[in-house]
Amino acid sequence: MEALLTSTGIVALAEIGDKTQLLAILLATRFARPWPVVLGILVATLANHALAAMVGAQAAALLDSNGFRIAVALSFLAMAAWTLIPDKIDDLKQDAGRFGPFITTTIAFFIVEMGDKTQIATIALGARFENVLVVAAGTTLGMMIANVPAVFLGHELLKRVPLATVRFITAGLFAVIGLWLLLATLGLV
């Protein structure tokens, strides 16, 4: 249960204001058909995060050492810093029209999520918990919690959510997890 709740919470918070959430708003606005966009987000996230969690779990199994645990802890600290850097909708150079809302969303989300902070967090969570299914389910749930309202509420959501505050809270959570893992690995907690 810890893996599911931690994965869900971290990714839901990290996703707020992220480029994939901005992409969700862009696609929902472009197509004016929210359900195919939501389903595309779900399919892309399940595929992307299952692979990411698998990479993390396999890396943890292969590299079960204090050095690897320290690297995972430091990756959470790096995620904290990265979360403070805002994404911009201008960074998304997507042609959102050739294949319809579901296929466009699925492809765009899968590609844009590559190397994204939520994918890196999923790898770290996969390494931390070594449970691909639970981590992928949790991170996918977190993505859906953050993106479904964005699809349906679009630009109105961006006007009302203080993204800078959310970024600081999310960065704080990543930092706390990273420090806790680091201290636990060093035997200080």
* Residue whose entry in the numeric block shows the structure tokens 């050095």: 67
- Per-residue model confidence (pLDDT) at position 85: 77
Among 16, 42, 54, smallest CA distance to 153 is for 16
Instruction: Report the alpha-carbon distance of residue 120 to residue 100 in Å, rounded.
Output: 29
Q: Give buried/exposed letters for 113-126 (b at 16+ CB in 10 A, else e).
A: beebbbbbbbbbbb
The mean pLDDT values, 10 residues at a time, for the chain of 189 residues are 95 87 84 92 97 92 79 81 68 58 93 88 94 97 95 74 71 83 89
Domain ranges of the chain: 2-185
Tokens at 64, concatenated: 């079960």
> What is the pTM (predicted TM-score) of this model?
0.75
Dihedral sign for Cα atoms in the order 59, 167, 92, 77: negative
Instruction: Report the alpha-carbon distance of residue 142 to residue 65 in Å, rounded.
Output: 29
